Homo-oligomer: A and B are copies of this chain.
Amino acid sequence: MATLTDVTESATSRGEQTRELILSTALRLFREQGYGRTTMRAIATEAGVSVGNAYYYYSSKEHLMQAYYDHLQEQHRDAVAPILSTEKAFVPRLTGVLRTWLEVSAPYHEFAGTFFKTAAEPTSPLSPFSDESRPARDASVKIFRQVVDGSDLKLPADLEAELPELLWLMHMGIVLFWVHDKSADVRRTKALIDRSVPLVDRLLRLTRVPGVRGVANDVVGLIRSIKP
């Protein structure tokens, strides 16, 4: 609960407490019964407010999820800090960041599917590509920029500039895999991380090989050309 109230600066107007009460109740119910089975009526009742009041603070059920996403984001950023400040090698840095995300998100694995469902819709404000979630996305990319900058990697400047976003994309891919991962203790996702990170490392270092550098340049050019 404390983590939730910490998030916003101390109550600015009357309703802040109600807002947070609704949010924490919603997150709890989402976790306990899944997103689909949690009704707005249930959230309102459990929080001791009316349905209309819940809508006064969160204009839709999806927006409650958006709030969850921001919450997750902050937890991840905090949990990752010690790794980034101690570890210097690229592989453990990236592995650590990705596995930490797994840990932070674990309680929500079951209902995460529904989250990414709505996130996949381009018109949804929850889409990871939407303007509305730019702050969260930028914050996430920033983490990967730290992964790159603080590491022992030596890369061509242009590739290094694009790399954080590419790693964020990789992260999104892993999240997609995780959402579908039904193995015990998400073993398969963990395996994916542990095996793909060293591979990325090798690939990146390969960019020094003459024949490969050309392709790498093309990749960078492609990325740049399709950016909005």
A32 proximal to B (CB < 8 A): no
A215 with B199, Cβ < 8 A, contacts A122-B180, A124-B117 known: yes
Q: Which of A73-81, A90-98, A149-157, A201-209 contacts B (4 or more CB under 8 A)?
A: A201-209
Query: A71 in the interface, Cβ–Cβ < 8 Å?
Result: no
Q: Which of A48-56, A99-107, A137-145, A190-198 contacts B (4 or more CB under 8 A)?
A: A190-198
Does A184 touch B at the CB level, under 8 Å?
no
Complexed CA–CA distance, A114 and B124 (Å)? 10
Instruction: Say whether A161 faces chain B, with CB atoms less than 8 Å apart.
Output: no
Given the known interface contacts A192-B226, A212-B206, A226-B188, the answer about A113 and B123 at a Cβ–Cβ threshold of 8 Å is yes
Cα A118 to Cα B119 in complex, Å, equals 10
A119 to B116, CA, bound (A): 10
Answer whether residue A127 sits at the interface, using C-beta atoms and an 8 A cutoff. Answer: yes
Distance in Å: Cβ of A52 to nearest Cβ of chain B: 23
Residue pair B202, A218 in contact (C-beta under 8 Å): yes
Please pick, from B121, B176, B215, the residue contacting A203 in the complex, using a CB distance under 8 A. Answer: B215
Chain B residues, Cβ within 8 Å of A211: 206, 209, 212
Docked Cα-Cα span, A196 to B222, in Å, equals 7
Asked if A179 CB lies within 8 Å of chain B CBs, one says: yes
Measured between alpha carbons, how far is A116 from B206 in the docked complex, in Å?
Answer: 36
Q: Which residues of B contact A219 (CB under 8 A)?
A: 199
**In whole angstroms, what is the CA distance A209 to B188 when docked?**
31
- Say how far A192's CB is from chain B's closest CB, in angstroms: 5
**What's the nearest-Cβ distance from chain B to residue A191, in Å?**
6
Task: Find chain B residues with CB under 8 A from A196 CB.
Answer: 222
Q: Mark A210-225, 1 if CB is under 8 A from B, else 0.
A: 0110110011011001
Q: Does chain B have a CB within 8 A of A58?
A: no
Let me know if B215 and A206 touch, CB within 8 A: yes
Across the interface, name the chain B residue whose C-beta is closest to A178.
B122
Give the complex CA separation of A219 and B196 in angstroms: 8
Q: Which residues of A contact B (CB under 8 A)?
A: 113-114, 116-124, 127, 129, 176-177, 179-180, 188, 191-192, 195-196, 199, 202-203, 206, 209, 211-212, 214-215, 218-219, 221-222, 225-226, 228
